[in-house]
């Protein structure tokens, strides 16, 4: 491997084709492979957070009648272009697009709403009782500049409520997100930013007013906004650059150009939020970066960091299903970033209960003892005891040290004498005391020591046969 890396480096020094430079990126300084920039492994310690968050979401979704959906990791590029919009940052800069062997343009999903809307149409979900409530927990991909809280592969959980047009649903969706933040112990960290961006017709009108306003002011805009001016002028409103911010403060207000229906919808939503005690910040500059939104848009911002690293956002997309070839179907949804939730939990020093700790470590000496161990380990696991065995050839001392490192409170020792006598030694690792127990009584004794309530008796449920 080192040789391979060295060659890659020297090829690059010689100014060989760009692939040599990219190959170089795949090695760490010591010459071993590493992940591409912006993506990372989810190691066991972080998986404990992932699992916990997933369970919270699953529980809250089940309570509210949502069912889980997974759309493919890649879809036709056109689906995202049409849904999210050519002028959006996601489509214009951030998609992982490639051609397959037949020359079809495919894209790794940068978000799931487009795929879920496509699936709703393709699987004839309009025939189901409406609204259809779906949730997901999935990896997504955006070629963004990696930085804190911004990755090229990241996980999102999300909800889509499709088939009903009522602000009470927007309020319920927001309430669901708040419940999840509460369950994770981080609800107090975020402020709900709320806005309405009206119907596409009203927005189109406003956008031309906005373009007129910015005409002649291009030189004061940041490079990003100069580019967005004719592609996605609304995004100029939420730019964080100083000069752009001053210009956006003075820009004509969107509210003055919105349609009456959207304004009434928004007022009703606020009434519902007030009713269920959810506070919000009215943010007339919040526009979100995806073209499919209509009326309600909202984000959860870190109270300290503001718009930077929002933990999630969503809104209504009443036109998307029709735009993708379905019947006109209203919808509202939300997605939150898992890495950002975890970062907030860690910042607050919140740990999640770990179910990974072992109960028992089984050590053995000699082939005959090992044979007995295989059966015993299985019996212990069946009894609900989390058990690991050292099945290698190390001495008893080495195995005991290993047991210590795995942090199991009890070790079962089986040597030649124990095999002969049909017994085993149970050692309490903390107290350093041990007892001889008849082999067949070992599971029962350990269950007593560990305690019934601590056993791992998880069952996914009974299988049904039709
Ligand atoms: P979004 O605002 O693009 O919305 O993404 C939602 C959340 O995903 C963000 O608030 C953030 O927490 C997380 N996220 C986005 N990009 C990254 C990244 N590069 N690294 C880490 N986390 C990231 C949507 O995706 C819409 N589909 C939401 C929606 C659902 N609207 C209606 N239904």
Kindly give the number of the ligand 1 atom that is closest to the alpha carbon of 90.
3
Pocket of ligand 1 (CB under 6 A): 111, 113, 142, 144, 149-151, 154, 156, 158, 160, 290, 310-315, 317, 333-337, 339-340
Which of 291, 326, 347 is the last residue before a domain boundary?
347
In-domain check, residue 243: no
63 and 155, same domain (yes or no): yes
pLDDT tens per residue across span 135-163: 999 999 999 999 999 999 999 999 999 99
Residue 335 CA, ligand 1 centroid: distance in Å: 6
In-domain check, residue 72: yes
Residue 29 CA, ligand 1 centroid: distance in Å: 33
167 and 299, same domain (yes or no): yes
69 and 160, same domain (yes or no): yes
Coil, strand or helix: which one is 443?
Answer: helix
pLDDT at 350 over 50: yes
398 and 296, same domain (yes or no): no
Count of domains for the chain: 3
CATH number at residue 409: 3.40.50.800
Residue 51 CA, ligand 1 centroid: distance in Å: 20
Kindly give the number of the ligand 1 atom that is closest to the alpha carbon of 113.
27
Please tell me the predicted confidence (pLDDT) of residue 15: 44
- Rounded Cα–Cα distance for residues 32 and 408 (Å): 33
- Rounded Cα–Cα distance for residues 99 and 106 (Å): 6
Helix, strand, coil % in the chain, rounded to nearest 5: 45, 20, 35
In-domain check, residue 77: yes
What is the DSSP track for 79-134? Answer: HHHHHH-TTSHHHHH---EEE-TT--EEEE-S-SHHHHHHHHHHTTGGGSSSSEEE
Please tell me the predicted confidence (pLDDT) of residue 21: 58
Q: Whose CA is nearest to atom 31 of ligand 1?
A: 314
Domain carrying residue 307:
44-199+259-347
30 and 48, same domain (yes or no): no
Mean pLDDT for all residues in the chain:
92
Q: What's the rounded mean pLDDT across residues 211-226?
A: 92
Residue 111 CA, ligand 1 centroid: distance in Å: 7
30 and 49, same domain (yes or no): no
From 323, 337, 340, give the residue whose CB has the most ligand 1 atoms within 8 Å, as the site to mutate. Answer: 337
* Higher-confidence position of 121 and 24: 121
| Tokens matching residue 7 | 């060659």
pLDDT tens per residue across span 404-426: 899 999 999 999 999 999 999 99
- Rounded Cα–Cα distance for residues 137 and 451 (Å): 34
267 and 300, same domain (yes or no): yes
Angle at CA 285, nearest 5°, toward 281 and 286? 70
pLDDT tens per residue across span 120-136: 999 999 999 999 999 99
The pTM assigned to this predicted structure is 0.91
317 and 180, same domain (yes or no): yes
56 and 29, same domain (yes or no): no
In-domain check, residue 219: no
51 and 163, same domain (yes or no): yes
CATH number at residue 317: 3.30.930.10
Give the pLDDT band (50/70/90) at residue 19.
Answer: low
In-domain check, residue 353: no
In-domain check, residue 237: no
Please tell me the predicted confidence (pLDDT) of residue 16: 47
């Amino acid at each position: 491997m080192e040789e391979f890396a060295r060659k890659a480096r020297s090829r690059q020094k010689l100014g060989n084709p760009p692939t040599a430079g990219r190959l170089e990126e795949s090695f760490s300084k010591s010459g071993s492979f590493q992940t591409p920039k912006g993506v990372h492994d989810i190691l066991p310690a972080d998986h404990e957070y992932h699992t916990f968050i997933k369970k919270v979401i699953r529980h809250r979704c089940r309570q509210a009648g949502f069912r889980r959906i997974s759309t493919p990791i890649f879809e036709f590029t056109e689906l995202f272009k049409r849904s999210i919009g050519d002028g959006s940052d996601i489509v214009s800069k951030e998609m992982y697009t490639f051609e397959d062997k037949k020359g079809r343009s495919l894209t790794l999903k940068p978000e799931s709403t487009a795929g879920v809307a496509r699936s709703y149409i393709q699987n004839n979900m309009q025939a189901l009782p409406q609204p259809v409530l779906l949730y997901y927990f999935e990896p997504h991909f955006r070629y963004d500049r990696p930085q804190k809280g911004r990755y090229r592969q990241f996980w999102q959980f999300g909800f889509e409520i499709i088939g009903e047009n009522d602000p009470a649903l927007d309020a319920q969706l927001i309430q669901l997100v708040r419940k999840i933040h509460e369950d994770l112990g981080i609800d107090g960290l975020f402020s709900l930013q709320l806005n309405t961006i009206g119907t596409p017709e009203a927005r189109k009108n406003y956008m031309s007013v906005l373009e007129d306003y910015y005409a002649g002011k291009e030189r004061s805009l940041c490079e990003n906004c100069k580019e967005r001016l004719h592609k996605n002028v609304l995004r100029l409103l939420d730019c964080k650059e100083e000069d752009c911010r001053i210009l956006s403060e003075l820009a004509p207000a969107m509210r003055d150009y919105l349609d009456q229906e959207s304004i009434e919808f928004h007022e009703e939503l606020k009434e519902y939020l007030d009713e269920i005690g959810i506070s919000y910040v009215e943010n007339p500059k919040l526009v979100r970066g995806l073209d499919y939104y209509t009326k309600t848009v909202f984000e959860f911002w870190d109270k300290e960091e503001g718009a930077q690293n929002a933990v999630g956002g969503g809104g209504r997309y009443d036109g998307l299903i029709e735009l993708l070839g379905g019947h006109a179907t209203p919808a509202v949804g939300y997605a939150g970033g898992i890495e950002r939730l975890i970062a907030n939990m860690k910042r607050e020093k919140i740990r999640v209960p770990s179910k990974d700790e072992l109960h028992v470590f089984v050590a053995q000496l000699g082939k005959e003892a090992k044979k007995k161990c295989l059966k015993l380990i299985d019996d212990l696991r069946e009894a609900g005891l989390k058990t690991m065995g050292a099945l290698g050839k190390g001495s008893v001392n080495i195995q005991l040290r290993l047991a210590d490192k795995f942090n199991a409170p009890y070790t079962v020792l089986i040597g030649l004498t124990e095999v002969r006598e049909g017994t085993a030694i149970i050692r309490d690792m903390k107290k350093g005391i041990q007892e001889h127990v008849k082999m067949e009584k070992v599971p029962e004794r350990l269950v007593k020591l560990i305690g019934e309530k601590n056993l791992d008796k998880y069952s996914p449920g009974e299988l049904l046969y039709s």
